[in-house]
Amino acid sequence: MAVQESAKPQTAGQPMIELRNVNKWYGDFHVLKDINIGVRKGERVVVCGPSGSGKSTMIRCINRLEEHQKGQIFVDGIELTGDVKHVEAIRREVGMVFQQFNLFPHLTVLQNLTLAPIWVRKMPKKDAEELAMQLLARVKIPEQANKYPGQLSGGQQQRVAIARSLCMKPEVMLFDEPTSALDPEMIKEVLDVMVGLAQEGMTMICVTHEMGFARTVADSMIFMDQGQVVEVAPPKEFFANPKSERTKLFLSQILSH
Amino acid sequence: MTDITHDTTDLIEPRRGIVEKGWEWARANLFNSIFNSILTLLITGFIVWLAVPLFNWAVLDATYSAPNDAACKARGGACWAFIADWYKFLLFGRFPEVSRWRPALVILIFVAMMLLSSQARLKGKHLLTMWAGGVVISVALMFGGFLGMPYVETELWNGVPLNLLLTVGGCGLAFPVAIFAALGRRSRMPAIRWLSIAYIELIRGVPLITVLFMATVMVPLFLPTGMTIAKLWRAEVAFTLFFGAYLAEAIRGGLQVIPRGQYEAADALGLGYWRKTWLVILPQALSISIPSLVNTSISAFKDTVLITVVGIFDVLGDVNNAMNAPEWRSAYWEGYSFVALLFFAVCFYMSRYSQRLERSLSRARPGRR
């Protein structure tokens, strides 16, 4: 696509994702206040914070499921504006996994995976199915390919959702609380897949409260509260001696049980 | 048809008399308390009180062949002789007698298509092709003018084929209109949204008769001189617009219950508006709206009798005309029973069909929200 080529003068040091002074309001409510974040290619970032801190809103702005009102967002060198072409170009490069999985219930698992490659990437059906089966094997459920999402457990559905995003061969993966809607015994199977992805060098931004996952995988931790980025630090430093009082309080609450 | 809910116990248990089993069932279901016993007796009494005279009228005292209604009057029962004498006119109206096999064939085609539609083996795509093809062939048969069949103008298309063609043709054409109106009503673009709302609410706000009169009486006033469109086609446009508004609301009902996550997931995959709508949203919305779509189609079929008011004679119009014959002046009970049975058969079939469709859809997708 022309947009991608002209708007993508990528240099080595340029961040994959960059938010500059991003602000967002819901009516009078100021959800995001001057957010500045840069994520390099291959970097894994974990975003945490109390509920209502704006962390989900922030990552939803990155593929424009939410619109920001002030500031700039760049993904792979393309600026997110109202321009539909830019938005679609960015959405092709950015995969997203939702808390509620959001699989398409009227399609089989295989059809869920091949839908976007066939219709957006114009991949031949046979190639798309081959790719889909590879990815289903990677998330360890190739035997479920012909079932409908409603027949799978939550953990299986979330793994299908991850595979569905990977089918588009994204540059970046966004995870919006991927394990929050899961029963405890299913959380591990999803986290294992995510750890595997991280080890392969995928650029990832995860909103999650799974601090064990954050410790093993994250290159950097972002703590948000009341619409602001309060602290950014490598996980060792972040957990060992958080600088801000709010971070300390949050960590004491989340790690105490 | 096989009954899937039949009791398997009679395969295992030794055979007992049907009377014995029937009595056991009745005791468990009809006479299990004093109140229920009284209720059972009362209802049975009511049914007998209603059914016996009806049976006498319709069967025992009925006259099956007679020269006129006076001959029937003597016996006091139904005068089926009227139907026997006039059934060709009731079914096909003023369609030229030598060519009446053509509308008869059209009726057969529709019955065959209805029966084929309930075959589970046929998929949606094939069904659509079949119905579209069936309607085209039927219209061609009605027109004639080829293969040695004399041409018949639309003024003479009467009776049952008209009801069938108006319903299927009207709903078929209305369906795409309805999809766009339903999507338009939810559009973010104000012009499209307001246009859709205006269309739907305007049409829903007026009676069908008004729309029919507008199309048949007022439209010619706006046409350039010398240009005419057959009254039947004008009426068909009216039906299409009318059914379209109601189908649009049925589809909108389905669209409203699709969770926001479905839109977001499709967006996040970069599908874009049209692919998102056609591949993700509409398939789910339409299958949810099946009951109300069928409901609308059933009313549509019944509404087609209103076409009589603009001087086009469907089956009800034919019945009214037949009763103008001096020898059958008092046969309206029989004439209207005939029409009622015909409509009941088709509507009942449609409603059963929609139930089966819903069941097979929910079987194909267990755990569907």
Identify the pLDDT of residue A12. 47
A-B CB pairs within 8 A amount to 78
- The pLDDT, as a whole number, for residue A8 is 42
Whether residue A53 is predicted with pLDDT greater than 80 in this model: the reply is: yes
φ, ψ (nearest 5 deg) of residue A227:
80, 5
Q: Across the interface, which of B268, B272, B287 has its CB nearest the CB of A106?
A: B287
Pick the CATH number of B80-364 from 1.10.3720.10, 3.30.70.100, 3.40.50.10310, 3.30.565.10: 1.10.3720.10
Q: Does B319 touch chain A (CB under 8 A)?
A: no
Predicted confidence (pLDDT) per residue in B144-193, tens digit:
888 888 888 888 888 899 999 999 999 999 999 999 999 999 999 999 99
Cα separation, B56 vs B65, in Å, equals: 17
- Asked if A91 and B368 come within 8 Å (Cβ–Cβ), the reply is no
Is the model's pLDDT at A123 over the cut of 90? Answer: yes
pLDDT tens digit sequence for B290-300: 888 988 999 99
Determine the residue among A102, A122, A125 to mutate to test chain B binding: the one whose Cβ has the most chain B Cβ atoms within 10 Å. A102
- Report pLDDT for A255: 80
Position B205 pLDDT exceeds 80: yes
pLDDT, averaged across chain B: 86
Measured between CA atoms, the residue of chain A closest to residue B362 is A106
Q: Which tens digit of pLDDT belongs to each residue from B249-262?
A: 999 999 999 999 99
pLDDT of residue B364: 59
pLDDT confidence of residue B366: 53
Residues B271-286 have a mean pLDDT of 93
pTM exceeding the 0.90 threshold for the entire prediction: no
Residue A84 has what pLDDT? 87
Residues of A in contact with B265 (CB under 8 A): 96, 98, 102-104, 161
pLDDT at residue A4 greater than cutoff 50: no
pLDDT on residue B14: 56
> Which of B267, B269, B290 should be substituted to probe chain A, the one whose Cβ sees the most A Cβ atoms within 10 Å?
B269
Task: Judge if ipTM > 0.85.
Answer: yes
| Structure token pair of residue B114 | 């209805």
Closest residue in A to B262 (Cα) is: A102
Whether residue A63 lies within 8 A of chain B, CB to CB, comes out as yes
**Which residue in A119, A135, A144, A168 has the most chain B C-beta atoms within 10 A of its own C-beta, making it the best mutation to test that interface?**
A119
Q: Where in chain B are the domains?
A: 2-67, 80-364
CB distance A120–B271 less than 8 Å? yes
pLDDT of residue B53: 87
**How close A172 comes to chain B (CA, Å)?**
12
Residue A226 has pLDDT above 90, yes or no: yes
- DSSP string over B183-231: HHHT-SSHHHHHHHHHHHHHHHTS-HHHHHHIIIIIHHHHSPTT----H
Q: Is B279 on the interface with A (CB under 8 A)?
A: yes
Task: Please report the pLDDT score of residue B258 as a whole number.
Answer: 94
- The DSSP annotation for B270-304 comes to T-HHHHIIIIIIHHHHHHHHHHHHHHHHHHHHHHG
Nearest residue of chain B to residue A109 (CA atoms): B365
Query: Which chain B residues are closer than 8 Å to A98 by Cβ?
Result: 261, 264-265, 268
Any CB–CB contact under 8 A between A151 and chain B?
yes
Q: Is some CB atom of chain A closer than 8 A to the CB atom of B272?
A: yes
Given a cut of 50, whether residue B369 has pLDDT beyond it is no
Position A2 scores a pLDDT of 39
Task: Tell me if B283 and A103 make a contact (CB, 8 A cut-off).
Answer: no
B291-325 burial by CB neighbour count: b if 16+ within 10 A, else e? bbbbbbbbebbebbbbbbebebbbbbbbbebbbee
User: Does B361 contact chain A (CB < 8 Å)?
Assistant: no
Residue A98 structure tokens: 């939702």
pLDDT tens track for A13-40: 578 999 999 999 999 999 999 999 999 9
Amino acid, single-letter form, for residue B340:
A
Look at residue B43 in the predicted model and tell me its pLDDT: 92
Task: For residue B223, name the pLDDT band (cuts at 50, 70, 90).
Answer: confident
Both tokens of A58, joined, read 């922030």
Q: For residues B13 and B198, which has the higher predicted lDDT (pLDDT)?
A: B198
What is the band of A1 on the pLDDT scale with cuts at 50, 70, 90?
very low
| Distance to chain A for B365, nearest Cα, Å | 6
A232 touches chain B (CB under 8 A): no
Burial A176-205 (b: 16+ CB within 10 A, else e): bbbbeebeeebbbbbbebbeebbeeebbbb
Min Cα distance B124 → chain A (Å) is 15
